[in-house]
Amino acid sequence: MEHAKLYERLAERLSKLEKFPRIKEDKSIATLMEEHGISRRDFMKWAAGVTAMLSLPSSFTPLMAQAAELTDRLPVVWLHMAECTGCSESLLRTDAPTIDSVIFDYISLEYHETIMAAAGWQAEHNLESAIAKYKGKFILMVEGGIPAGATENYLTVGPHGQTGFASAKKAADAAAAIFAIGTCSSFGGVQAAYPNPSNAQALSKVTSKPVINVPGCPPSEKNIIGQVLHYILFGTLPALDAYNRPKWAYGLRIHDLCERRGHFDAGEFVQEFGDAGAKKGFCLYKVGCKGPYTFNNCSRERFNQHTSWPVQAGHGCIGCSEPDFWDNMGPFEEPLGNRLYHTVYGEGADKTADKVGVTLLAATAVGIAAHAAIAAIKGSGKTEE
Partner 1 sequence: MKITKEIIERIEGEATLELQWHEGVIDFAKIKFFNFRGIEKILEKRVLYDAIAITPRVCGICSHSHALASVLAIESCFKNAGDVLHISQKAQDIREIILNAEKIQNHIKWYFFTIFSELQKLSNTPFEGNAFKDKAWFHAQKAIVESLKMGAIFSGQWPHGSFALPGGVTCDPVRSDFIMAQNTLEGIVAFCEEYLYGMPLEEFLSFSSALQVMSSVRRLSYGIETMIELGFDRIGRSHDRFLALGDSFLYEEPSKAVKTTVLSADSKHVHESLEHTFFSDTHKGYTYSKSAQYRKNYFEVGPLARMMIGKDVLIRDFHRRFKDATLTRVVARMSECAHLLLRTRELLSHCDITMPSFIPPKANPHDLCGEGIGIIEASRGSLIHKVNVLYGHIHSYDIITPTVWNLGNGDKENPSVAQKAIMGLDSIEKADFVFKSFDVCSVCTTQ
Restricting to residues 320-349, name those near partner 1 by CB under 8 A. Answer: 320, 326, 330-333, 341, 343-344
Which residues ranging from 277 to 296 are in contact with partner 1 (CB under 8 A)? Answer: 278-279, 281
Report if residue 161 touches partner 1, rule: CB under 8 A.
yes
User: Distance between CA atoms of 312 and 133, rounded to whole angstroms?
Assistant: 46
Neighbour-count burial for 200-217, b at 16+ CB within 10 Å, e otherwise: bbbbbebbeeebbbbbbb
- Tell me how far, at minimum, the Cβ of 255 lies from partner 1, in Å: 17
Q: First vs last Cα of the chain: how many Å apart? A: 54
x-or-dash string of contact with partner 1, 134-153, rule CB under 8 A: -----------x-------x
Among 61, 66, 71, 90, binds partner 1 (CB under 8 A): 90
Cβ partners under 8 Å of residue 4, min gap 6? none
- Tell me how far, at minimum, the Cβ of 174 lies from partner 1, in Å: 21
Among 66, 101, 201, 294, binds partner 1 (CB under 8 A): 101
User: Residue 192, exposed/middle/buried by CB under 10 A (0-12, 13-18, 19+)?
Assistant: buried
Which residues ranging from 203 to 262 are in contact with partner 1 (CB under 8 A)? Answer: 217-218
Cβ atoms of 73 and 231 closer than 8 Å: no
User: Distance between CA atoms of 66 and 70, rounded to whole angstroms?
Assistant: 6
- Tell me how far, at minimum, the Cβ of 331 lies from partner 1, in Å: 4
- Tell me how far, at minimum, the Cβ of 356 lies from partner 1, in Å: 18
- Tell me how far, at minimum, the Cβ of 320 lies from partner 1, in Å: 8
In this structure, the number of other CB atoms found within 10 A of the CB of residue 276 comes to 12
Q: Which is nearer to partner 1, 66 or 201 (CB)?
A: 201
Cβ atoms of 212 and 246 closer than 8 Å: yes
Q: Which is nearer to partner 1, 189 or 226 (CB)?
A: 189
Among 83, 268, 322, 324, binds partner 1 (CB under 8 A): 83
Among 13, 73, 80, 230, binds partner 1 (CB under 8 A): 80
User: Distance between CA atoms of 363 and 353, rounded to whole angstroms?
Assistant: 9
- Tell me how far, at minimum, the Cβ of 148 lies from partner 1, in Å: 13
Q: Which is nearer to partner 1, 69 or 100 (CB)?
A: 100
Among 116, 176, 266, 358, binds partner 1 (CB under 8 A): 116
CA dist 382 → 13, 20, 101, 366, 378 (Å): 59, 66, 49, 23, 7
| Count, residues near partner 1 per rule CB under 8 A | 83
Going by their DSSP bridges, the two strands 200-201 and 342-343 should be labelled as unpaired
Cβ atoms of 246 and 238 closer than 8 Å: yes
Q: Which is nearer to partner 1, 177 or 365 (CB)?
A: 365
CA dist 183 → 36, 106, 203, 371 (Å): 32, 25, 10, 30
Cβ atoms of 252 and 243 closer than 8 Å: no
Q: Which is nearer to partner 1, 4 or 313 (CB)?
A: 313
Q: Which is nearer to partner 1, 189 or 323 (CB)?
A: 189
- Tell me how far, at minimum, the Cβ of 221 lies from partner 1, in Å: 10
Residue positions counted in the chain: 385
x-or-dash string of contact with partner 1, 1-40, rule CB under 8 A: -----------------------------------xx---
| Residue of 75, 81, 179, 72 lying closest to 135 (CA atoms) | 75
